[in-house]
Amino acid sequence: MKVMAAVKRVVDYNVKVRVKADQTGVDIANVKMSMNPFDEIAVEAATRLKEAGHASEVIAITCGPVQSIETLRTALAIGADRGLHIQTDAELQPLAVAKLLRAAVKREQPQLVILGKQAIDDDAGQTGQLLAALLDWPQATFASAIQIQGDVATVTREVDGGLEVIELDLPAIVTTDLRLNKPRHVTLPSIMKAKKKPIDTVTPDDLGVDPATRLKMLRFVEPAARKAGVRVADVAALVDKLKNEAKVI
């Protein structure tokens, strides 16, 4: 079984993002970038499937500018066998990414595609579902456990009411939640080995996909500053403020 894991280059989760002065977007100049945390979980899940003997090959794939190759190298260091870079400087929205991934899937013919449930930059949470719809494949979102037996994947999903267990006929799409696994620490030997693993580069034109945007972002605004808290003398004063000022009781 061939597994494809999709990864995205995003602003590192430890960085406090700032909006540009002209409100046209987020300022990423000289900002640390890294792999989307949910995608790290996806690559780890794919790698574990290979280590367990369920997968013969793990392909890491990303869409974006030339700097995205660094993200692919991280995926290769975690355990992916080779990378596929769809190089473009265009702004990529979830539908465009899903179309690019669909074209890559048709080219590589994986039996399982694993993605993070969302990216921490736009929080869209749409790409996996859109890809499943475009391919007409079954999907399991928010996965906290994956088991493979033959041509069937059993996935435990995190839902509002608790956990849901479903079975999918392969090929299928799975999106990962936080509790699926804890990605391994990437060691220096793994990083060195990753430098020798192959990465193929293609463009949207090579895949016959137009990544044009469908939505226009009008402006970006930072959240309003939070007001400072106040101290109260006793419970009676707290209740008075909650009732008369905050009006929450």
pLDDT digits 0-9 by tens, 73-85? 999 999 999 999 9
Give the other-Cβ count within 10 Å of 88's Cβ: 20
Decide if 89 is inside a domain.
Answer: yes
Structure tokens at 244: 């008369």
- Model confidence, pTM: 0.86
Distance CA 94, CA 167 (A): 26
Which of 37, 35, 33 minimizes the C-alpha distance to 61?
A: 35
| Number of structural domains the chain divides into | 1
Q: What single DSSP character describes residue 144?
A: E
Specify the pLDDT at position 214.
86
Helix (H/G/I), strand (E/B), else coil: 90: coil
Specify the pLDDT at position 148.
96
Specify the pLDDT at position 54.
95
Determine the number of helices (DSSP H) and then strands (DSSP E) in the chain.
7, 13
Sign of the torsion angle spanned by Cα atoms 229, 231, 236, 241: negative
Find the CATH number of the domain harbouring 224: 3.40.50.620
Decide if 249 is inside a domain.
Answer: no
pLDDT digits 0-9 by tens, 37-61? 999 999 999 999 999 999 999 999 9
Specify the pLDDT at position 38.
96
Instruction: For the chain, list residues with pLDDT below 50.
Output: none
Decide if 60 is inside a domain.
Answer: yes
Decide if 120 is inside a domain.
Answer: yes
Decide if 187 is inside a domain.
Answer: yes
Range of the domain at 52: 2-244
